[in-house]
Amino acid sequence: MKVVLEYWPVLAQGLCVTVWVSICIIFGAALGGVVLGALRLSDAPATRVASTLFIEFVRAPSAVVLLFWMFYALPLLPGMPRLSPLAAAILVLALDGAVYGAEIVRSGIEAVHRGQTDACHALGLSKLQSFTKVVLPQALSQIVPAFSSLARSMVKWTAIVSFIGVQDLLYVANYIRGQTYDSITVFCLLAAVYWILTVLCGVAFRALEQVLPLNRALRTARLSVQPAADVYAHARVPQ
């Protein structure tokens, strides 16, 4: 408790950085996952192969290795910009999350019946309109629950950004541990904060599931069927 009271301004600053990085990489991974997942199902073989190779290329090394190359090695190449530690961390973790999210998106899209796409083509909708207005809204009911688990993991991925000097929660915790030599208290507090963050992330995604178009339609259908079922059951009760 003494550690919290004495160092709470520094802890709050580190927590804000961790939360900001988590939000940025989750949104970035969601957007990138949708794009890469759609490209994985493209009708053009070259696009499918290129997106698959890109996904495997990014997914193969660990995120720490990607951070090293993005922050330390990339600026050594002629003409390459030198990113700030925060920008490099967000870019790498969002990209890493996007390649994992792409497979979630791909499986969600494939779960939508092929007849939906055929009906869109029969109505004269373009491929982009079919995807954004018909296929993707239905696929989200499969994508969001699976992506929720990935998002929780991504919150914990933020712990590696201190490797390149981002002053996140772990960076601050290591600083406090070096000042107080109280490793047990510091890391117990760290574990509790990460647990709270992952729980809040899960709650946010469960709330998102409730407002998805397909889930709302299913709830409405169940509510409309239930009164009729009650009337039918009541009518069969012997008088």
pLDDT of residue 136: 81
Structure tokens at 85: 């530690």
Question: Could you give the percent of the chain with pLDDT greater than 70?
Answer: 87
pLDDT tens readout for residues 205-239: 988 888 876 666 656 666 665 554 454 445 554 55
Helix ranges, the chain (H): 2-40, 45-59, 63-68, 85-111, 114-122, 127-130, 136-157, 169-180, 183-210, 213-236
Angle between helices 183-210 and 169-180 (to 10 degrees): 160
pLDDT tens readout for residues 122-178: 877 777 788 878 888 888 888 888 899 999 999 999 999 988 888 888 999 888 888
C-alpha 166 chain-centroid distance: 21
> CB–CB of 150/29 below 8 Å?
yes
pLDDT tens readout for residues 76-119: 888 888 889 999 999 999 999 999 999 999 888 888 877 777 78
> CB–CB of 103/202 below 8 Å?
no
pLDDT tens readout for residues 163-174: 888 888 899 988
How far is CA 77 from each of CA 69, 82, 84, 88, rounded to the nearest angstrom? 11, 10, 16, 16
Distance (Å, whole) CA 174 – CA 67: 20
Structure tokens at 216: 């709302």
Distance (Å, whole) CA 153 – CA 104: 14
Concatenated DSSP letters of 159-209: GGGGGGT---HHHHHHHHHHHH--HHHHHHHHHHHHHHHHHHHHHHHHHHH
| Mean per-residue pLDDT of the chain | 84
Set out the domains of the chain in order of their start, with CATH numbers: 2-236 (1.10.3720.10)
> CB–CB of 161/67 below 8 Å?
yes
Name, in order, each residue with C-beta under 8 angstroms of 55's C-beta and a sequence gap of 6 or more: 36, 40, 99, 102, 103
How far is CA 200 from each of CA 145, 151, 205, rounded to the nearest angstrom? 15, 11, 9
pLDDT of residue 223: 65
The phi, psi pair for 237, rounded to 5°, reads -70, 125
pTM: 0.85
